[in-house]
């Protein structure tokens, strides 16, 4: 096995692993599956323009559920994305 080099930055490490074959550096037969239950997904802030009426309606719905409206929007988006992906997968399977 080759020795993993020291990296001066995360960008340098990213570039290295993008180009390197990890099997030259890591014996994957000794790898064990692990679970990180408290790991939070990386978040990225975006800006989106919505009609004011839509935001007000979202706030009303969020208030009924006692959650922040931005959290409710994430829930709605997540549910719809999951639904679309299932539909897309079903369509691809039939084709």
- pLDDT, position 90: 66
pLDDT band at 94 (very low <50, low <70, confident <90, very high): low
- pLDDT, position 37: 85
- pLDDT, position 54: 97
- pLDDT, position 13: 96
d(CA 16, CA 57): 48
Asked whether residue 21 carries a pLDDT value surpassing 80, the answer given is: yes
Asked whether residue 38 carries a pLDDT value surpassing 90, the answer given is: no
Candidates 37, 39, 46, 38; CA nearest to 74 is 46
Q: Read off the pTM.
A: 0.54
């Amino acid at each position: 096995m080759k020795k993993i080099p020291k990296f001066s930055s995360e960008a340098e490490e990213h570039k290295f692993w993008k180009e390197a074959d990890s099997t030259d550096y890591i014996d994957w037969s000794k790898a064990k599956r692990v679970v990180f239950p408290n790991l939070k997904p990386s978040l990225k802030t975006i800006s989106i323009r919505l009609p004011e009426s839509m935001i007000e309606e979202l706030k009303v719905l969020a208030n009924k559920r006692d959650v922040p409206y931005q959290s409710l929007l994430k829930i709605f988006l997540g549910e719809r994305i999951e639904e679309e992906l299932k539909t897309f997968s079903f369509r691809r399977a039939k084709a």
